[in-house]
Structure 1
């Protein structure tokens, strides 16, 4: 079992990732830390609590940073809805977040369990970068960081070259990649293959449980956005793949590289990925995910979320037409 701190900015796909992680016995979720990203940190914290409530599990939630290190903050409500989870404006969860700040929680947990804590970072890296700035010695005892962000060969999703999480706080991302902590980058090169199609969403809807209704409802806004912006049928759910990789590393194939982040100009937020040893004296700082098995991911994801419906899920997954791309 791997000890995990999840750093999140819920967000539709973050909410799915939280539930997925909490339903996975391979992962010991030590706590959720929240950062401004898809939605500002106050609402993001409420959304994190809502995801925990929907899971029926117990995990503590810690509110973190409201603003990027230097860049002006721009949310993604155009993508995730005015409330960050599809414009559903659910009843406020019957849970409260902790009084301790997210950064203090991260540092205390790593200090208590040196070299045992993996940080699963699914939003802008502001909380992680500030923890490094505050106590670099403790942060050197992080086991590794698995993050959803960036891209190597795929284009950006909020500029021609930049993925949203790095674009929101490029200075934080630069600090994290320069930290010498072991990093795995689950970027757009693989996550753009993780499409929650109308077929898969209908399977979920037909289960008719409170959780299936919640998932169907929050992803509708995402579906509409992806059609308007990309003419994608369905929606790309980026963050759950990073959870899946922790559970089953064989979902992806990785390539070592040196990654740096652009912090200025037209390419701000771009992850500059060197596979060829032209920078940093040929040394690598990141394992970059480059290929993925979408069918295996969705089998894992849906079976974990709905363990009482294994037969129905498997029939539906078997009948799904799996598009070319990544690995089958």
Structure 2
């Protein structure tokens, strides 16, 4: 697939996001916020619902639906979520936020490289759960390499019957090297497979060498479970068909491997809410690519085209949500356990944003994506097929086909399943929810 990235509008452009895409919509099951506010106001003030809405039958119907929806949410069981994470300072914020959100039940963490290497991501995930007092939540360690590497190994040996006498993965600075003793039809041979394009991009310059603000916390007492992240995802989706939402905060390798492992995974899962992409704006790795998609473009393309219910939250949205210095000071003054912990690790993150973006605050990437899973109505969305560029200078570019034009020939987007892509966000409410929940004692 060859795609040119040109004339990408700047995020600060005055062009309305709703004009960049099709008309955005809110989650079909959510009632408009104004309607809910009017309903609650009417109930509090003792006003009849039809009067609160101007007396029309249609307004009365809106009131009834809003009341029913509110009652259902009040009594609904929490949404089961698995957070696929590469902690990461803003990952820590998102994990704590999830644990403080009664709307969701965190049933597991899976780890992936991104902000740090996978081994350190696992250590940090276990550490954060200890801080939260939630060591009952299992942590499954994820892939140490991109999906390209896994699939290349499979295709390399698919044409002959082989079995492995021994297998080592050696990590060098520039490449991942697979060395194995292979027996083929009784004749032993030694093979070295060198796979290009699998060098990992690690963002420790953003989050600190330890991923948590260079605080060098003591090692956690807990251990990850024996299952791989992909196997854990597949198992949980089977145990709770249609009920598990995966919140993916890093590169999408683990999700792609789960899809490859079980063809029914996309049917069994409730939804995948992912942080990734730079829709209509420049990337944050280079002008074309956002970090999570750039981390494993092949995996991202597998996920975007798998047919699952997917909600993508890109940096075109998360760059609208900022935690300011003033709000950080409120966290410092708070007695909340999570707020106090985050204040220890935030300095590195603030310094990075000051140096790179010249701003007195930080972007709330991961918390925004997490809250999209908690309450989708905080954002608006467009819908279309998304493909990912996997080669060339635009590697990692995400391109949405919004179905506004019917092309005369078959394209790489033809007949691909559509996903929801976030367009706008209620940024003040996202920040307010984050602050309130993290400042709870």
Structure 2: state its 5+ residue gaps. 1-77, 149-197, 406-410
- 1:321 is matched with none
State the structure with more CA Rg.
2
Distance (whole Å) between structure 1 residues aligned to residue 200 and residue 356 of structure 2: 22
Report if the CA contact (8 A) 1:23-1:55 is conserved: no
Secondary structure of 1:265's counterpart equals coil
Matched, 1:263 2:396: no
Query: Once the 2 structures are TM-superposed, how far is the Cα of residue 138 of structure 1 from its aligned partner?
Result: 3.2
**Once the 2 structures are TM-superposed, how far is the Cα of residue 112 of structure 1 from its aligned partner?**
1.2
Query: After TM superposition, where is structure 1 displaced by more than 6 Å over at least 4 residues in a row?
Result: none
> After superposition, what is the alpha-carbon deviation per residue over 1:181-229, rounded to whole angstroms, capped at 9, x for unaligned?
1110011011011211100100000114542222112111111111111
Deviations along 1:114-170, whole A, 9 cap, x unmatched?
122111111000001011111112333211110001021121000111100000100
Question: Is 2:311 aligned against 1:234?
Answer: no
CA distance in 1, matches of 2:92, 2:210: 12
Question: For residues 176 and 282 of structure 1, what CA distance do their matches in structure 2 show?
Answer: 15
- Are residues 1:201 and 2:328 paired? yes
Residues 151, 187 of structure 1: 8 Å contact kept: yes
Which whole-Å CA distance do the structure 2 matches of 1:53 and 1:106 have between them?
A: 22
Pick the aligned partner of 2:307 from 168, 172, 180. Answer: 180
Match of 1:222 in 2: 349
Match of 2:424 among 282, 291, 297: 291
Q: Deviations over 1:7-28 (max 9, x none)?
A: 1111111111111111111111
Equivalent positions of 1:68-87 (< 5 A) are: 68-70=146-148, 71-87=198-214
The normalised TM-score by structure 2 is 0.67
User: Are residues 244 and 138 of structure 1, via their aligned partners in 2, closer, same or farther at CA, if it must alter by over 3 Å?
Assistant: closer
Q: Are 2:306 and 2:417, in contact at CA under 8 Å, matched by a contact in 1?
A: no
| 1:32 aligned counterpart, secondary structure | strand
Q: Tell me by how many angstroms 1:109 deviates.
A: 0.8
Selected match of 1:274 from 401, 405, 418: 401
- Structure 1 residue aligned with 2:439, among 301, 306, 313? 306
Give the number of equivalent residue pairs: 308
Aligned to 1:47: 124
Match of 1:24 among 63, 88, 101: 101
- Correspondent of 1:245 among 344, 360, 372: 372
Partners of 1:277 and 1:283 within 8 A in 2: no
Counterpart among 66, 88, 110 of residue 144 in structure 2:
66
Match of 1:8 in 2: 85
User: Could you say what secondary structure the match of 1:65 adopts?
Assistant: coil
- The residue correspondences of 1:28-177 to structure 2 (distance < 5 A) are 28-57=105-134, 58-70=136-148, 71-177=198-304
Q: How far is 1:282 from its partner?
A: 7.6
Deviation at 1:54, TM superposition (A): 2.1
Q: Which digits, 9 at most, give the CA deviation of each residue in 1:81-139, with x for residues without a partner?
A: 10111111112223222122111111111111112211111100000101111111233
More helix by share: 1
Secondary structure of the corresponding residue to residue 155 of structure 1? coil
SS in 2 for 1:153: coil
Match of 1:314 in 2: none
Distance 2:374 2:245 in 1: 12
Indicate the SS of the match to 1:10.
Answer: coil
Give the secondary-structure state (helix, strand or coil) at the position aligned to 1:140: helix
Whole-angstrom distance in 2 between the partners of 1:122 and 1:183: 13
